[in-house]
Amino acid sequence: MAYAAQVPSRDFLWDVFRRVDKDNSGQISSDELQSALSNGTWTPFNPETVRLMIGMFDKKGSGTVNFEEFGALWKYVTDWQNCFRSFDRDNSGNIDKNELKTALTNFGYRLSEPIIDTLMRKYDRAGRGTIYFDDFIQLCVVLHTLTSAFRQFDTDMDGVITIHYEQFLGMVFNLKV
């Protein structure tokens, strides 16, 4: 992403980590992380997005992140926040269909109107025609993961693949989303 944030000092991150680690276990769970994150809408951060992010940075498969992993996760969330703000043209704290289309086009996706509409329906948790910050992260991570899986079979890069049903099932069930 071209929206890289500066990494805060180790002392700052340690202070944040200690405040988020409510049970002082030295590990941050999904519940602890969810309560610490804000999507700017006074609603809880989407638990599925939190689970996805913990899974991305949890190197040991424990379902939690330690301090080192937390630093990478912090940078990841901050980068996404800067990206989200750059596409939230009206500073509403959420992204509408046109802002989403602009963001995805800038990421290199060329998606049809019906697919954009499908993404809006899937990730518009409030049903108001907008996507919150946390749902935007989830949408982008899932889209990237699905695209990467598709590209493994699209060897000639023409956007068309022919696969057997079991290949499809293997592709989908092996995804980390």
CATH number at residue 113: 1.10.238.10
Residue 2 above 60 pLDDT? no
Inside any domain, residue 4: no
Q: Which helix (H) or strand (E) holds 132?
A: strand 130-132
Read off the DSSP letter of residue 109.
-
Q: For residue range 112-141, what is the model confidence (pLDDT) as tens digits?
A: 999 999 999 999 988 999 999 989 989 988
Residue 107 above 80 pLDDT? yes
Domain with 32 in it = 10-174
Is the pTM value of this prediction over 0.95?
no
Among positive and negative, which fits the CA dihedral 112, 117, 120, 123?
negative
Q: Which helix (H) or strand (E) holds 131?
A: strand 130-132
Inside any domain, residue 54: yes
Q: How many domains does the chain have?
A: 1
Inside any domain, residue 5: no
Inside any domain, residue 2: no
Q: For residue range 25-73, what is the model confidence (pLDDT) as tens digits?
A: 999 999 898 888 876 666 778 888 888 888 888 888 888 999 989 888 8
Inside any domain, residue 14: yes
Inside any domain, residue 1: no
